[in-house]
Structure 1
């Protein structure tokens, strides 16, 4: 009978969480973030009281959010919770338990026209909060069945930057580390109707749809 606040970095991910909302919506995180930004949460409001009573905050797809968003929430929670507990001012997230979920192999924060170094530097792993995090690694892919282990391992290799060796032919040697060899089982020969081919490879035969709406 405890209160949990489930949020996610994107609206699609938030829909997968019971009672989920985007982190920006739940905590009133500013759109234009800076290192000094804080959440628009006023002490004494219903939102502030809800956060005080919450035993856990779950934040899904955390790696795709700029670290300044987490730091804004951290500063706001310290201010709100320290009103009743002065020690909260010195604790990460004011002493509130926050569970961050996500995969750094997937999308990192989007930095317009940003370089790879700028994108990596904007990640939560480069925040001052990262040293206070306890890291847990999930090894089992729950979305794939046992007979798809080979594909699962291939996806992990690509994510770790260790794909299959690439043959460099018409490309420059400088581009070698940017190329990934696609597993042949994932490749289909191009047909005369590529759009129909993609549809049928994804959804099955399209001629079965006739007469349906």
Structure 2
């Protein structure tokens, strides 16, 4: 499948394989294998927490539900989840605005264009595949600072986010540890000493790459 078909399906359905807003972390682990644990979104709180499957970056809340997801298309080549747990596949993420808009239309979807008065070299296509879920595709007018402007803008980032999830309930401490922090202390001092972090922890800046970030990465944000 040409990669442009996958974000088009995401735009129309809100799903990319088993990945979707509200998806259960244990279910995704069963489908795709163990994620990489990148770190906390907020310094003083274990949750929400950044995890990754291949190149995909996502935030999970304390009740292990997917709260938001970023596809870093600025990398040009992505590693995405494969058909079996632990498998990854490489795709070329260089998609133009025209190609994606046409693919969304062909898939039966509708989209709206969002422009920014103070960012003339960026704009977005947005869809709302289901209530309270939005998928945004950010485009830039060039592939790098030194490149000339493009006639057909290039995809920089995909962001999936939802708005229907209320406060997470307190964890049931009578349950066995699920390996993702059920037994973490209730105070703000973080992860329990007996609870190892998953995967390999690497430096990550949610203020630059997370769903709340305003600056695009790669071409425009480093």
TM-score normalised by the chain length of structure 1: 0.24
Higher relative contact order (CA 8 A, sep 6+): 2
